[in-house]
Amino acid sequence: MKFIKNKDEERRDYILQKDETTKKTSLFVIVVLVVLLLAVIASGIYFLAY
């Protein structure tokens, strides 16, 4: 099983495809995780202060 498939390969056993949709989706997921991490840190600081 291959992890990343190039656009021109004829395969069916892969996890991610190297195309624009995968790149945009990965960027979105990373941004959401960073925002959630910052929210957890901010709430921890807020509740420690009060």
Closest CA to 29 of 16, 42, 41: 16
The percent helix, strand, coil of the chain (3-state, each to 5) is 60, 15, 25
Q: Give 17-32 pLDDT, tens digit per residue.
A: 778 888 999 999 999 9
**pTM to 2 decimal places:** 0.70
Token pair 């929210």: residue: 39
pLDDT band at residue 35 using 50, 70 and 90 as cut-offs: very high
Residue 33 pLDDT > 90: yes
For the chain, domain boundaries: 2-49
Q: What is the pLDDT of residue 24?
A: 94
